[in-house]
Amino acid sequence: MLRNPVPRAALALVLALGAVPAQAQEVLRDAETEAFFREMSAPIVTAAGLDPRNVNVVLLNDGEVNAFVAGGQTVYMNSGLIGKADHAEEVQGVFAHELGHIVGGHAIRGGEGSRPAVAITLLSLLLGAAAAAAGSPEAGLGIFMGGMTAAEGKYLAFSRAQEATADAASVKFLAGAGISGRGSVNFFQKLQNMEYRAGYRKSPDDEWYSTHPMTDDRLTTLKDAFEQDPAWKRPEDPALQRRFLRVKAKLYGYLAEPQQTLTAYPEYVNDIPAHYARAYAYHKQAFMDKALAETDAILAAEPDDAYALELKGQVLLESGRPADAIPPLRRAVALTQNQPLIATTFGHALLATEDRANFPEAERVLKAAVVKDHDNPFAWYQLGMVYEANGDTPRARLASAEQEAMQLQYVEALRNAEAAQAALPAGSPDWLRAQDIAMSTRAMVEHKRKKK
| Stronger pLDDT, 41 or 19, i.e. the higher one | 41
Which run of H or of E encompasses 7?
Answer: strand 2-8
The Cα–Cα gap between 451 and 275 comes to 51
Determine what percent of the chain is predicted with pLDDT higher than 90.
63
pLDDT tens, position by position, 325-362? 999 999 999 999 999 999 999 999 999 999 999 999 99
pLDDT tens, position by position, 54-98? 999 999 999 999 998 887 889 999 999 999 999 999 999 999 999
Supply the pLDDT for residue 199. 63
pLDDT bin (cut points 50, 70, 90) of residue 214 is low
Supply the pLDDT for residue 118. 42
Supply the pLDDT for residue 14. 29
The Cα–Cα gap between 278 and 258 comes to 8
Task: Write the CA distances from 313 to 136, 258, 445, integer angstroms.
Answer: 76, 20, 40
Supply the pLDDT for residue 3. 56
Average confidence (pLDDT) over 174-179 = 94
pLDDT tens, position by position, 10-32? 222 223 322 333 345 689 999 99
Supply the pLDDT for residue 200. 54
Name the phi and psi angles at 78, rounded to 5. Answer: -80, 150
pTM for this prediction: 0.80
Positive or negative CA dihedral for 406, 410, 415, 417? positive
The Cα–Cα gap between 132 and 139 comes to 7
The Cα–Cα gap between 402 and 422 comes to 16
Selection from 327, 341, 288, 292 nearest residue 30 by Cα: 341
Dihedral of CA atoms 19, 25, 31, 36 in degrees, nearest 10, equals: 10
DSSP result, 72-116: TTEEEEEHHHHHH--SHHHHHHHHHHHHHHHHTTTTTTHHHHHHH
Q: Is the pLDDT of residue 277 over 80?
A: yes
